[in-house]
Amino acid sequence: MITRRIYQTLAVTPLVIMVLAFIFRATLYWSFSVADGEPKGGGDVIEIILFLLLLGTCFLSILYAALLVVVPKLRNKSYSINLLIIGILVPLAFWFVHPLIPKLV
């Protein structure tokens, strides 16, 4: 029961963070101004925090996928494969789609 709950949380959280980051990039990012003489603004700082949060949850997904394979009592290959796919593909999708967001809006 707890294995399924952790699986569901770790499978959905990276996707939610990615969607929130895309929504932020498309809407609120442009309302943060850059101070004079500074290379980055407040919107960039929030984007970095969202990206690090995304990487952290994907890393936890990959770790839990490895745990599901190694521990015999928890062994569930389908959960493990799904978490591994999410942990690897979500940051890649973010990396490729993120620069396209301003062009799509």
Tens digit of each residue's pLDDT (9 = 90 or more) over 3-43: 899 999 999 999 999 999 999 999 988 888 888 888 888 89
CB count within 10 Å of CB 6 equals 18
Residue-wise pLDDT for 43-75, tens only, equals: 999 999 999 999 999 999 999 999 999 998 888
- Supply the pTM of this predicted model: 0.90
Asked whether the predicted pLDDT for residue 105 surpasses 80, the reply is no
DSSP string, the chain: -HHHHHHHHHHHHHHHHHHHHHHHHHTGGGGSPPPTT-S--HHHHHHHHHHHHHHHHHHHHHHHHHHHHH-TTT--HHHHHHHHHHHHHHHHHHHHHGGGHHHH-
